[in-house]
Chains A and B, each alone.
Chain A
Amino acid sequence: MKYAFFLGCNIPARLEQYETASRAVMSRLGVGLIDYRDFTCCGYPLRNIDRKAYLLSAAGNLALAERDGVNIMALCKCCFGTLKEAQYILGGNETLRREINDMLKPRDLSYRGQVEVKHLLSVLYHDVGLDNLKKKISRKMKDLKIATHYGCHALRPSKVTQFDDPVAPTLFDELVKATGAKSVEWSEKLNCCGAPLMGVNDRVSMDLTQKKLDSGRESGADFLCTACPYCQLQFDQVQSMMASNGATGDALPSILYAQLLGLCMGVDEKSLGLEKNQVAIDNITSFITQE
């Protein structure tokens, strides 16, 4: 099992621990990751500005993986959703696809629509499988309550992303349960983290985050769990920014799923990078039971 490893822009610059933890977990599961230096931005921020620039960005990445006959695995829900959307648009519009391919010609690339885009979680759930995953888990979590945050761009629009049931998804909860943790129900589970408006309308952005944190706390969760750099940065860096601005309520730390899974697989501390989170998550180790 091999994937073109799509890191996106945020992870290498601001969330290295997501990369290192994912690499460690995938190598234990025997999943090969191929790095592409030529991958560019998926096109997500460009969608707001110019559709052609967005599609060209996305199509270049899709074409690179397609050329080598490998599927893409993204760590970021926004990259995932953006690439899926581009496939959807280009798949339904032959003229546009040809136009974009003309622009890809100087790079010797062409997108034909024969590559699949997956997210880390869907690879773990569908391709690796829960049974195989459990086999590699050497120590389980006990009495740990996790609030799973699905991430908008993975869930919706569901006819494009086909990630899970958009109204009652279970994929992420199943993956969390595999670690022995309990996945709590919470009212804000399927809502936005607030990150897309960070830097644009901070008040709305932080209000959305505050709502999520309140709901998570109410549900009794010890941690939020994410699988997207935008969501994670919002719940981590922005939460700590909110705290220093005088926001109320105890901190609700957020852990990346790759970190949680890695802990249960006995991945080394350096790769997990728990200390790199701004809202401390190191007390998670107290939930580990040795088996």
Chain B
Amino acid sequence: MFFDSLLYGSLLIFIVGSAYKSYTWVSRQITGPELPYSTGQRISQVLKGILGVIFSGRVVTLVKVLILDVILQRRILKEDSLRWVMHMLIFVGFMLLLFIHAFESWTSSNLFEDYASTANPYLFLRNLFGLMVFSGVAIAMYRRFILKVPRLRTNGMDFYAIVIVAIIMITGFFLEGAKIISHNEFQRMVEEYADTDDAEELRALEAFWVEEFGVVSPKVAGPFETELLTQGQELHEMSCQSCHAVPEWAFISFNLSKGMRPMAQYLDDAEAAYFLWIIHILACFIGLAYLPFSKMFHIIATPLSLMANAVMDKERSHPANILTRQMLELDACTHCGTCSLRCSSSPAFDALGNDCILPSEKLQFIRKLAAGKALSPSERTALREGVYICTNCDRCTVVCPSGINLRDLWLNVREGLIQSDATGDPLMLSGFSFVRGLNRPNLTTEGYAKPLELARHEVAKGWPSAAETDSLNFNGGTESQAALPYDTETFRACYACQNCTSVCPVVAVCEKPEETLGLLPHQIMCCLGLGLTDMACGAGMIWDCVTCYQCQEHCPQLVEVTDILYQLKNIAIKGPRQGAAA
């Protein structure tokens, strides 16, 4: 009764939770302009899409992916063989344990005529499968806590997943061990199954079980006479043998039980077997009930993500289905860190220390965002920097074992954030905008230009503008100017010949260069010479520089004009105060 209510209770939570999670796939969307699809429309598009695939040639792709990527996990193998071994051990071991052991009343008992959990091969197999899972968990712990795989972050959810599986396995083994030595357990079985109630005969049986099956008895102790054991064996063969193989076959639990023998009496008095059983099933039921809300939900979401990505593409798939797939993908992420290991921008993380530069960490914040939770201003800034410092090399998408289309996700989130934020992001003025430029045809004219204008405004904010300055204050004592952070002072040699400006291709294509660019290259060098670094930082020119190095190459005084513009950008992007401190 107790067992059943727990089982059905957790099963119910699991089902409702899974249904709720699947509902979020079709009712929510990753940040971005609200798209006009109701949940109903999205569900019907999903069904249409699925039917469309099933009744087309793409079903072959689907089956192929199911076998190679879902069952055989080819994508993990390609990345790292140790990880593949780890995941296979846990995956296969756990599935088989579920099948022969956890669901035994539905599966094993019906399928195998002579099934008894303590008979072979089941006794042996349960230990073998348990060992598989346990070894997998051990490798996972080794990778996360000892090997220190670069940029593999461990969060609470990863820890939970490892702990819950480990508890299930460990309590399982100890439970079996405690039962092997338990005299109470022996007594209970005798009462239920022994074909005799003759005290002498039962003593013989007990002696035999103490000798051969590792039971620790308070009543009988060896060495036993051969006769007694023979009598016990006869009884054993009659009443017990059909269901019991010798416990040595439970090679892990049996060895554990040897260690537990000195405490056997105490354990029996404390009903250890019963409590271990409680912990074991509670852990299982907690795991089951919490599964839809934990990273273990990838058991369901990842196969779906792999298959969906194999048959979907931007051109063919309905936009509503792409929204749905992206929500599903958030649940398919196992936080395995492969993307961060291979991320082209990872050195930027090493230098700048913003977790959000790493794809695997970025995704955790995006989950929050997609769930409609508000990010704190600092989290939002970090996420925006993180999604912007990305070269769009697509490697994360290529290596993701869950087949998540991270490429589209980043572009989506990046656009969503810069469109919805009222303040511009100066990072938009760097080379990281190149791919956004190439994507321009997919955006509206206003939607494309507006964030860039805001970014211009934001980066110039706080720096004095040359156009709006009436009289110049040359180091007037109170004003501290930003300092050039590096060792170049070559601008001091500038004698304002304007060669840099006359060879500048950007100046050449501007109709009114001073108006559009703020300061021209030679004027910037002059500003620096006069100690007006702040004014130089405020010039639009530094952001319109194509870094072609014509100015630097053609300077008769060897002023490193382009390199100086790079430095000014480094200062300006951090804002006046931080820039000055740099």
Contact = CB atoms under 8 A, between A and B. Distances in A.
Nearest to B395: A12
B237 interface: no
Interface stretch (B156-164, B272-280, B430-438, B527-535): B430-438
Given A48-B429, A56-B347, A211-B509, A157 B549 contact: yes
B451 to A, nearest CB: 11
Interface string B334-348: 000000001111111
A191 B549 CA distance: 10
Interface in A31-74: 37, 40-41, 43-53, 56-57, 60
Interface residues of A, number: 56
B553 A166 contact: yes
A103 B548 CA distance: 30
Nearest to B344: A41
A158 interface: yes
A178 interface: no
Interface stretch (B173-181, B209-217, B285-293, B539-547): B539-547
A207 to B, nearest CB: 4
A45 B351 contact: no
A48 B431 contact: yes
Given A93-B487, A204-B510, A208-B505, A152 B548 contact: yes
Contacts of A195: 434
Nearest to A40: B344
A208 B433 contact: no
B389 A43 contact: no
B434 A199 contact: yes
A205 interface: yes
Interface stretch (B22-30, B52-60, B248-256, B566-574): B566-574
A48 B510 CA distance: 22
Interface stretch (A111-119, A219-227, A233-241, A258-266): A233-241
A103 B350 contact: yes
A41 B391 contact: yes
B543 A201 contact: yes
A50 B392 contact: no
A205 B150 CA distance: 38
B344 A48 contact: no
A201 B453 CA distance: 10
Interface in B217-264: none
Contacts of A9: 344, 391-393
Given A13-B393, A40-B344, A41-B393, A191 B430 contact: no
B428 A200 contact: yes
B453 to A, nearest CB: 11
A199 B351 contact: no
**Which among A40, A158, A194, A195 has the greatest number of chain B C-beta atoms within 10 A?**
A40
A197 interface: yes
A40 to B, nearest CB: 5
Interface residues of B, number: 57
Interface string A133-164: 00000000000000000001101111000000
A253 to B, nearest CB: 18
B422 interface: no
B440 interface: yes
A77 to B, nearest CB: 11
B216 to A, nearest CB: 52
Contacts of A233: 438
Nearest to A44: B431
Contact of A53 (B351, B398, B566): B351
Contacts of B311: none
B347 A41 contact: yes
Given A56-B347, A192-B546, A202 B441 contact: no
B509 A49 contact: no
**Which among A45, A49, A197 has the greatest number of chain B C-beta atoms within 10 A?**
A49
A196 B392 contact: no
Given A46-B348, A201-B544, A152 B549 contact: yes
Given A57-B347, A200-B544, 14 more contacts: A13-B392, A41-B345, A43-B347, A48-B429, A152-B546, A152-B550, A157-B552, A166-B553, A191-B548, A191-B550, A199-B428, A200-B431, A211-B509, A238-B437
18 contacts: A40-B343, A41-B345, A46-B430, A47-B431, A49-B569, A51-B486, A52-B351, A56-B351, A57-B351, A153-B549, A156-B549, A195-B434, A197-B506, A198-B433, A199-B434, A199-B435, A205-B546, A244-B441
Interface of A: 8-10, 12-14, 37, 40-41, 43-53, 56-57, 60, 93, 103, 106-107, 152-153, 155-158, 166, 191-192, 194-202, 204-205, 207-208, 211, 230, 233, 237-238, 241, 244
Which 5 interchain pairs have the tightest Cβ spacing? A199-B437, A199-B433, A45-B431, A156-B549, A9-B393
